[in-house]
Structure 1
């Protein structure tokens, strides 16, 4: 069920992926909950709340949960949107904790057509790139609790294979 206003719909495939991710122990342990994945992978909504899995020593959501509950989404979106001709990796992230989280907060991951075209044009020219994408944890009133900038590495698959083969050390005979 989408939290943010959207015209997009989930498909059976993205709904199944959402359900599987929410049950996957590595993601389940973050305390995050995926609420919506659009059928075109361009929009994802996630919720995070204070609970048994996210509670820290001082009674607010643990910083590791704040980051890890949002960690995989831009990479997953770009992998699905760009397809098999591209390689996408998480490269870095910075997070600013703006206020303690004691209630439900939400994050929206939105990738538009302009960004996709920019990525494809850049890769066509340079074969690889890094891009920084922002996301925020906000409450229902729009108050921001944390701001994260994710840095992703994107390359054409052919270029990436060539680059990796050049970096491989010689194997002993």
Structure 2
């Protein structure tokens, strides 16, 4: 479906509206509000509402996490292209204070970071990329939680061969 959409819309438009209208992502209560044409920066808003308010009137931790969880992996997948396998490997969320207001998260990659990932894969075949996202107040002065993600990235041909070898070992 994404390949059909890319023929009709630019990647950044497809990314934004694909997420915002996806039933899975909508349930997180997060919404992509900004995305650059080059996909290097994505901004998400998580508004406090009756849909995500917990017993103590702050945003439910699961809503905070689910609103930021898929972005770094999918963003990287779009940025580095089809020659790579990209998977979420691990995640960790650390709460700092209750979010009793609308909160925001910024996701950034740089051209240098992407080139470094590609260079490392050229020599190592598979790597882990670590990304940290802070969920903050609108003015950026208050941090409510920090999410650490570990993303697995591999050369697609290497990964296919690795899976073939694994199947042979099990047989």
- Assess same fold via TM > 0.5: yes
Task: Determine the C-alpha separation between the residues in 2 that align with 1:103 and 1:31.
Answer: 13
Task: Determine the C-alpha separation between the residues in 2 that align with 1:17 and 1:117.
Answer: 22
Equivalent residue, structure 2, for 1:151: 150
Give 1:40 deviation, angstroms: 1.4
Equivalent residue, structure 2, for 1:26: 24
Give 1:16 deviation, angstroms: 3.9
Pick one of 103, 123, 141 that aligns with 1:105: 103
Task: Determine the C-alpha separation between the residues in 2 that align with 1:39 and 1:141.
Answer: 24
Task: Determine the C-alpha separation between the residues in 2 that align with 1:93 and 1:85.
Answer: 24
Give 1:12 deviation, angstroms: 4.6
User: Residue deviations 1:13-60, cap 9 Å, x none?
Assistant: 422431232121100000101112222111100001211221112211
Structure 1: stretches of 5+ with no match in the other structure: 1-10
Structure with more helix by fraction: 2
Equivalent residue, structure 2, for 1:70: 68
TM-score w.r.t. length of structure 1: 0.88
Task: Determine the C-alpha separation between the residues in 2 that align with 1:166 and 1:54.
Answer: 45
Structure 2: stretches of 5+ with no match in the other structure: 1-8
Q: Which runs of 4+ in 1 moved over 2 A?
A: none
Equivalent residue, structure 2, for 1:140: 138
Task: Determine the C-alpha separation between the residues in 2 that align with 1:105 and 1:115.
Answer: 26
Task: Determine the C-alpha separation between the residues in 2 that align with 1:110 and 1:20.
Answer: 19
Task: Determine the C-alpha separation between the residues in 2 that align with 1:81 and 1:18.
Answer: 14
User: Residue deviations 1:65-102, cap 9 Å, x none?
Assistant: 11110011111111111111111100001111000001
Task: Determine the C-alpha separation between the residues in 2 that align with 1:133 and 1:139.
Answer: 20
Task: Determine the C-alpha separation between the residues in 2 that align with 1:20 and 1:83.
Answer: 18
Aligned length: 160
TM-score w.r.t. length of structure 2: 0.89
Q: Secondary structure at the match of 1:69?
A: helix
Q: Secondary structure at the match of 2:68?
A: coil
